[in-house]
Structure 1
Amino acid sequence: LKAELVVLSACDTGRGEIKGEGVIGLSRSLIAAGVPSIVVSPWQVPDDDTNLLMKEFYTNLYEKKLDKAQAMRRAMLTMLNDDRGNFNPIAWAAFTVIGEAE
């Protein structure tokens, strides 16, 4: 797979299922396919909060030229400090960068 970053901004994208073949999550499959960086969430996040967070993440990543980890960190801080944001960690702390952060 020729992608530098895959963002899975749906609910529970970071969790796998335990079956006979072991723990297989979508993120693990993407890493095996050669994707160096993935953004996932281990729990359900309200759509409006995800929308705000992802807009900030992409702005930080592409316009402000931050690395992936810093772009996500700044997006989370914006959610905490912005009147539009949801202060509940369920809303802003769900997403994590797996793999290469730079």
Structure 2
Amino acid sequence: MGGEITGDGVVGLSRSLLTAGAESVIVSLWAVDDSSTSDLMVEFYQQLQQNPDKAKALRQAMLSTMKKHPHPIHWAAFTLIGNAE
């Protein structure tokens, strides 16, 4: 007998990571192209070095990614769950 498939998806995974001790997680609500994801995450960590507020760093990374990948499918899927600081 295998595990039950539920509709928890990203929320269930995020909850599990937070329960395991992560202060926060950035998740994608849908599959995103590897290239735009890489651009966004590199920019996120660069922004995070300048500003410890993860929500603000993610927003700036999204704005930067929009310049190279203007369609929202490339950057709008990402969200921060948990502590922003």
TM-score (norm 2): 0.83
Root-mean-square deviation (Å): 1.6
CA distance in 1, matches of 2:25, 2:38: 17
Correspondence for 2:22 among 35, 40, 45: 35
**Identity over aligned pairs, percent:** 51
Matched residue count? 79
CA distance in 2, matches of 1:56, 1:66: 14
What are the within-5 Å matches in structure 2 for residues 78-97 of structure 1?
A: 78-80=64-66, 82=67, 85-97=68-80
Shift of 1:28: 1.1
Q: Which runs of 5+ in 2 are unaligned?
A: none
Structure whose residues are more often helix by fraction:
2
Q: Which has the higher contact order (CA 8 A, sep 6+)?
A: 2
**1:53 and 2:40 are equivalent in the alignment:** yes
**1:65 and 2:51 are equivalent in the alignment:** yes
Runs of 4+ in 1 over 2 A off after TM superposition: none
TM-score (norm 1): 0.70
Residue 6 of structure 2: aligned partner: 18
**1:75 and 2:61 are equivalent in the alignment:** yes
CA distance in 2, matches of 1:32, 1:39: 15
Aligned-partner SS, 2:77: coil
CA distance in 1, matches of 2:20, 2:28: 20
Matched letter for residue 73 of structure 1: R
Q: Which runs of 5+ in 1 are unaligned?
A: 1-16
Shift of 1:94: 1.2
